[in-house]
Structure 1
Amino acid sequence: MTADESEAIDAFEHLGLTSYEAKVFIALQRLGSGTARDVARTTDVPRSQVYSVAESLAEHGLLDVQQASPIRYRPVDIEDARTILRDRFEHEQDRAFEFVDQVSEAVADEETQEDIWTVRGRDRIDDRTVDLLSSADERLVFATRLPELLTDAIGHVLEERARAGVETIAVSRTDTVCDRFAELEGVSVESPTRPRTDDHRSGRIAIVDDDGILLSVVDDGGEETAIWSSESLFATVLIQLIEANQHVR
């Protein structure tokens, strides 16, 4: 068996055929038509198995059976086979996702969605921060002490929300970060009212519309971990506590 044939068999298996079904179908494409003995001679499928495999392929509409003595098999046209397998794959896909949709709806109906989510890793937190800030309709606050946590993408979304009329506030106790904030059009730059010089773990804070928040910390190895919540009572209460402490309103 060549490498190309092995890959074709694997592909047919992903489309729903068994290994034997794929091998018999390919063998018959080579032969044009043939008996179980002919097929067994050109593939490693035992002759005793060819009959049941061919019957299964016939049920799928992938080959025709000539009731002769001995029985002969002929594969359907390649384009017909392609359509049959594609339709079968799509049908199985629909069945699978129909069940998943039902499960998902059941979970939503039970209102079991978590209010607090955890995200780990700098890139994922960057993406989550951008998504959260992008959802601001009225007001947002973004704060960080670390220049590397003010990415270009975050800077762009801060400017974009400011142009859209959203009150956009940037907070930092680091001069370098404040300078970069100051370059962003429409963004108000503030310093924390109660800065802590012993803070070596905080990462960033994003607050959106009084009901969306992201908080991150950075460990000694530089790994960032964040929690976030949106449109939840938890987020609203946590925002109130932070803003009461920092007077960022």
Structure 2
Amino acid sequence: MNDADAADALTELGLSAYAARTFVGLQKIGVASAGEVAQVTEVPRSQVYGATDELEELGLIDVQDGSPTRYRAVPVDEARDLLYDRLRSTTDEAFDHLETVRGQHAPSDDREAIWTTEGRENVAARITSLVADAERQVLFATSVPALLNGDVADALVEAANDGVGVTVASADAAVREAAVEAGLSAVDVEDAAPELSVGRVLLVDGDTVLLSVQPTEEMPTVADESAFWSEGTGFARVLAAVIRQAFVSE
């Protein structure tokens, strides 16, 4: 990482471009006037004053009045803590507001919604979220060991520990073994639809369903794991009944 990369990273933490470059320059110089900062950072001298005002307001520099005024950056650890705290505070405020406004103008015809999620990490995050909402039963099925790990496995174990009935169904012995080692119930099933390259199947409480597919040569339009899911809908309840019949022998 060079100075420009460091300045770019600081802008991601909320600094303006000129303030970020000025702060990097002051860390290198130690104590400097606006003119000296401009020489080292190539920030126009007329912009250094606004940048230092911003940095001073954030507590990232000390200012020594005089002729000329001189500036000194606070230690790196102190700056890191200040920026992290500011970012956390701003993030918390933003998401607190989102919680208050969520659903205020939701359409009334959303009851039969079917949603899609693209990308393995995003599919895993959706599965984790749906499992966390489970109250009675969870059925998770896959024949790909790599798709039962990390956050998904942790979410299934946590649900089981909370008293939810969790079953892992798979035609793959490694998947079933991993489930049993994690303390989960596992059942052996035939691969339900190998020609479709089913990635993961999730059934939660009989009214929430997620089904993902993986890319294959026969499915060139699928670039990454892709899933559709539905929660609390008539469609989900019908599909849930079909899935349970296919994967679990009552």
| C-alpha deviation, 1:212, in angstroms | 2.4
| C-alpha deviation, 1:201, in angstroms | 1.9
TM, length-normalised to structure 2 = 0.55
Residue ranges of structure 1 left out of the alignment (5+ in a row): none
The one-letter amino acid paired with 2:208 is G
Aligned to 2:115: 117
Distance in 2 separating the partners of 1:139 and 1:94: 37
Aligned to 2:63: 63
CA contact (8 A) 2:19 2:51 kept: no
Distance in 2 separating the partners of 1:44 and 1:235: 60
| C-alpha deviation, 1:24, in angstroms | 8.7
CA contact (8 A) 1:32 1:75 kept: yes
| C-alpha deviation, 1:118, in angstroms | 1.9
Distance in 1 separating the partners of 2:8 and 2:203: 50
> Residues 154-177 of structure 1, C-alpha deviation per residue, up to 9 Å, x if partnerless?
8898788778765555667xxx54
Tell me the secondary structure at the aligned position of residue 97 of structure 2.
helix
Match of 1:106 among 89, 101, 109: 101
Structure 1 range deviating more: 159-168 or 225-234: 159-168
Identical aligned residues as a percent: 22
CA contact (8 A) 1:23 1:45 kept: yes
Distance in 1 separating the partners of 2:125 and 2:154: 13
Q: 1:126 to 1:31 in 2, by over 3 A?
A: closer
The one-letter amino acid paired with 2:228 is I
Distance in 2 separating the partners of 1:123 and 1:25: 34
Q: 1:87 to 1:177 in 2, by over 3 A?
A: closer
Distance in 2 separating the partners of 1:189 and 1:28: 60
Name which one, 1 or 2, has greater alpha-carbon Rg.
1
Distance in 2 separating the partners of 1:159 and 1:32: 55
| C-alpha deviation, 1:73, in angstroms | 1.2
| C-alpha deviation, 1:207, in angstroms | 1.8
Q: 1:89 to 1:62 in 2, by over 3 A?
A: farther
Residue ranges of structure 2 left out of the alignment (5+ in a row): none
- Counterparts of residues 25-174 of structure 1 (less than 5 Å): 26=25, 30=29, 32=31, 44=42, 49=46, 52-53=49-50, 56=53, 60=57, 62-66=62-66, 71-76=67-72, 78-79=74-75, 87=82, 90-91=85-86, 94-95=89-90, 98-99=93-94, 101-111=96-106, 115-121=113-119, 125=123, 128-129=126-127, 132=130, 136-143=134-141, 147-148=143-144, 153=149, 167=165
CA contact (8 A) 1:28 1:73 kept: no
Q: What is the Cα-based RMSD across aligned positions, in Å? A: 5.5
CA contact (8 A) 2:134 2:204 kept: yes
CA contact (8 A) 1:58 1:64 kept: no
The one-letter amino acid paired with 2:207 is D
| C-alpha deviation, 1:210, in angstroms | 1.5
Aligned to 2:236: 235
* Aligned residue pairs, count: 232
CA contact (8 A) 1:171 1:178 kept: no
TM, length-normalised to structure 1 = 0.55
Q: 1:119 to 1:64 in 2, by over 3 A?
A: same
Q: 1:65 to 1:10 in 2, by over 3 A?
A: farther
CA contact (8 A) 1:24 1:43 kept: no
| C-alpha deviation, 1:106, in angstroms | 1.5
Tell me the secondary structure at the aligned position of residue 72 of structure 1.
coil
Task: Say whether 1:209 aligns with 2:205.
Answer: yes
The one-letter amino acid paired with 1:225 is S
Q: 1:126 to 1:104 in 2, by over 3 A?
A: closer
Tell me the secondary structure at the aligned position of residue 109 of structure 1.
coil
